[in-house]
């Protein structure tokens, strides 16, 4: 599979039974439907998902023009906790650019502390 943002290869790794696809170039993350729920059940997310590095110098495809690595449908921008995510309207997977998962995790932590 290729990254929706920079077209570099997505590298699969498993974290606590969740298969994550992370871009080798821009460190963005593709998660299939419901994987975010499973990932956020963990006490601590892997550092590589929160603080990756951009390794590719290629051109980044702007949000709103990206396609799903599975279905090839255009991804829709959805805002969650002030974070814009690229979501597939067909398979419901989503792509998060570097730093966006960290922002989502921080927002979830704030909501948890408010309860």
38-97 tens-digit pLDDT: 877 766 776 667 666 666 556 789 998 999 999 999 999 999 888 999 999 999 999 999
Q: Helix and strand tally (H, E) in the chain?
A: 3, 6
Q: Where are the domains of the chain?
A: 10-114
4-50 tens-digit pLDDT: 999 999 999 888 888 999 999 999 999 999 988 887 776 677 666 76
What global pTM score does this model have? 0.83
Question: What pLDDT sits at residue 9?
Answer: 95
């Amino acid at each position: 599979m290729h990254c929706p943002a920079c077209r570099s290869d997505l590298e699969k790794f498993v974290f606590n039974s969740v298969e994550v696809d992370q871009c080798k170039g821009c460190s963005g993350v593709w998660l299939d439907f419901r994987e975010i729920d499973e990932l956020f059940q963990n006490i601590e997310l892997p550092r590589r998902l929160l603080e990756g590095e951009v390794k590719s110098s290629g051109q980044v495809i702007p949000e709103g023009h990206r396609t799903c690595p599975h279905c090839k449908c255009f991804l829709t921008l959805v805002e969650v906790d002030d974070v814009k995510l690229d979501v597939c309207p067909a398979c419901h997977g989503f792509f998060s650019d570097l730093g966006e998962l960290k922002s989502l995790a921080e927002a979830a932590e704030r909501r948890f502390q408010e309860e």
